[in-house]
Structure 1
Amino acid sequence: MQIDIIAPGRVKERYLRDAIDEYSKRLSRYCKLNIIEVADEKTPDHASEGVDRQIKAKEGERIAKHLKDGAFVIALAINGKQLSSEELAAKINDLGLRGTSHIQLVIGGSIGLDDAILRRADFLLSFSKMTFPHQLMRVILLEQIYRAYKINAGEPYHK
């Protein structure tokens, strides 16, 4: 299975890069992982809704260039469906059993995802009604993907 994580911006904090590297290494025995960073837009403080839409549209265009036709696209969205770790594991397993060999997970920038990306997604996934920094979300997402593979392999993983 190929798993792509597509997100705007570069991870600047060393501790987050270290965590991303660690989970990427752990996942290498289960899947082919590709982390795709697209350029992010600077968001001015107190930007209008119109400016926010323009920023999301620009980031959305950059993200869309990496979405593949045969891939199952999962967009992270606050209003998406919340899954337990076991349910996420089952979703990944079910996709594989149905012949899906490529999953692309999309994380929005600091103000979220463009509506065009949300419409393109095959599934909207929510980790919480809370908002997380998009750079930290990469670590959380990688940990949950790793946990899903451990669950599906019947291997122990701390709870």
Structure 2
Amino acid sequence: MRVHICAVGRLRAGPERDLVDDYLSRFDRTGRGLFLGPAQVHEVEDKKGGGMAAEAQLLSRVLPDGAVCCVLDERGRTLSSPDFAGQLAGWRDAGRGDVAFLIGGADGLDPSLRDRADFALSFGRMVWPHMLVRVMLAEQLYRASSILAGAPYHRT
């Protein structure tokens, strides 16, 4: 199952980009034998200042047809890392070819995207900078593949 991170904004060179790249390359290596990955990042920018509605249109364009649509939203479900791994495995085992994680801009995601999502995931009730959410998601994807592979990265 291919993994897509569809995000508003461009992640510039720096520590966040380094972490995302590192965790996604680890995910690709670990996930390959589990039929998870590769992971791709699709970045969109609303250069015209159209707000959340314009960002939603841009994100919709990079959302693969038939993909499980999972929005990152503070109102979503909080999962433990093993439960997140199980959710990914469940989508994969159900024959889903793609899963897309949608990360909004500074103001979050337009309600139209939240309403059409198959799943809403939260990293807690706190609000996180949208650029940091990419790092957290990339790490959790790697952790999930490690859990599913039985590797020692995740310790309970």
What's the TM-score, normalizing by structure 1? 0.88
**1:56 correspondence with 2:37:** no
Q: Secondary structure at the match of 1:131?
A: coil
Q: Aligned equivalents of 1:116 and 1:141: distance in 2?
A: 22
In the alignment, the residues of structure 2 paired with residue 80 and residue 41 of structure 1 have an alpha-carbon distance, to the nearest angstrom, of: 28
User: Is 1:24–2:24 an aligned residue pair?
Assistant: yes
Residue 59 of structure 1 and its aligned partner are, at CA, apart by 0.5
Which of structure 1's runs of 4+ aligned residues deviate more than 3 A? 40-43
User: Number of paired residues?
Assistant: 149
Equivalent residues of 2:147, 2:154 under 8 A apart:
no
Deviation of 1:143 after TM superposition, in Å, equals: 0.2
Once the two structures are TM-superposed, the CA of residue 20 in structure 1 deviates from its matched residue by 1.1
Q: Within 5 A, what are the aligned runs for 1:1-159?
A: 1-12=1-12, 14-29=14-29, 30=31, 31-40=37-46, 55-159=51-155
Unaligned runs of 5+ in 1: 44-53
Over aligned residue pairs, what C-alpha RMSD do you find? 1.5
Query: Does the 8 Å CA contact 2:24/2:141 hold for their aligned counterparts?
Result: no
Letter in 1 for 2:44: V
Offset from partner CA, 1:93-114 (integer Å, 9 cap, x none): 1111111121000011101000
Matches of 1:34 and 1:109, distance apart in 2: 18
Taking only the aligned residue pairs, the percentage that are identical comes to 40
In the alignment, the residues of structure 1 paired with residue 47 and residue 111 of structure 2 have an alpha-carbon distance, to the nearest angstrom, of 16
Deviation at 1:42, TM superposition (A): 8.3
